[in-house]
Structure 1
Amino acid sequence: TVGRRRGLRVGLLEQDVRFPDPAASPRAVYEAALGERRAESVPLVGLGLIAPRDLDRPVGALSVGQQRRLALALILARPPHLFLLDEPTNHLSLALATELEEALGGYPGAVVVASHDRWLRARWDGEEIALRAA
């Protein structure tokens, strides 16, 4: 059982990202998730995760990596206190995986990463807990 204090924001970057409406654009998904005011104050394109040319394409037409970057943008636009990442480097370019790894080191909240990525684990500065089958 896990409890959490009132007001604690938890962000989860799932390994397999799914959006309910594949016809919606990244811009529409972002605004619906954050609300118009927050989406204007933290513009999606300003996060550098979605190219301006892709803002109005259907989410279902984006690559798996682009969809994953949109999911990451949704989390980072309202930074959680606890950030859970399931295989965070899957489907990301090497450059973006490197940027993500560097950013996680300075993240102000708690970060939990589940990953088979040896490169990420070798460079990880945080505490590591290895889970093994009994």
Structure 2
Amino acid sequence: MRIGHPSSDTQLALSGVTKRYDDKIVLNEVSLTVRPGDKVGVIGDNGSGKTTLLRVLAGELTPDTGTVRRVPRVGHLRQQDGLVHGEGTVLEAFAAGRPGDPAEHADALLALGLFRAAHLASPVRALSPGLRRRLELARMVSEPADLLLLDEPTNHLSPDLIDDVENALAGYGGALVIVTHDRRMRAAFTGSHLELKAGRVAPPYVTV
């Protein structure tokens, strides 16, 4: 991660981005770049602009001022909505939209460590919110994407399942921007840390 002007290898760049909701400034002149393979952890108090930042990075929100340059293949795990639904099985949901028979994708799903073989035939509608969260993460980290944006990825997960999520993310080779309040996940995170305070990027910018 760099703060300043983008270079030729930039994966994503924000320059002077400001976003308001009514009269409230949520992001205030934010500039940063993310290079291929960068891992960036975004921290800050509630209301500091973290979720808004990810939505701007994903292209879901247009800033009021400033510019955004992004890659076309972006995966975005939202904080609350977006949990996988459907009438099929876990394996069918994981394989949806991918070539071949769903059975051909079983090894890829199991290799992520998020599900056991006994889960594959379970109907999605019967899954707990935590297992649906896992399924959404499994699809995201295994699809072609240059950048993943994860907003509280351990929501709905019990503490003993967080290690599985961390291991799955460790195998992802693209750029990653993650927001999490989970202390264990933040302590184990290796990469750059960006703190937002009242919509601004607060120095120092720490690279681990």
TM-score (norm 1): 0.75
Q: 1:85 offset after TM fit, Å? A: 0.9
Q: Aligned letter for 2:95? A: E
Higher normalized strand content (fraction of residues): 2
Q: How many residues align?
A: 131
Q: Aligned letter for 1:67? A: R
Give 2:77's aligned residue. 13
Whole-Å Cα distance in 1 between the matches of residues 147 and 160 of structure 2?
Answer: 24
- State the structure with more CA Rg: 2
Q: Deviations over 1:73-124 (max 9, x none)?
A: 1112225211111112223343442343355456422110111122322332
Is 1:51 the equivalent of 2:116? yes
- Give 1:85-100 correspondences, 5 Å limit: 85-100=150-165
Which range moves more in the overlay, 95-104 or 60-69? 95-104
Change over 3 Å in CA distance of 1:31–1:99 after alignment to 2: closer
Question: What secondary structure sits across from 2:148 in the alignment?
Answer: strand
Which range moves more in the overlay, 47-56 or 23-32? 47-56
Whole-Å Cα distance in 1 between the matches of residues 124 and 104 of structure 2?
Answer: 20
Which ranges of structure 2 fall in alignment gaps of 5 or more residues? 1-61, 63-67, 200-208
Which ranges of structure 1 fall in alignment gaps of 5 or more residues? none
Question: What secondary structure sits across from 1:68 in the alignment?
Answer: helix
Whole-Å Cα distance in 2 between the matches of residues 47 and 103 of structure 1?
Answer: 5
Give 2:94's aligned residue. 30
Change over 3 Å in CA distance of 1:115–1:109 after alignment to 2: same
TM-score (norm 2): 0.52
Whole-Å Cα distance in 1 between the matches of residues 175 and 197 of structure 2?
Answer: 23
Give % identity.
43
Give 2:179's aligned residue. 114
Q: Is the 8 A contact 1:33 1:74 kept in 2?
A: no
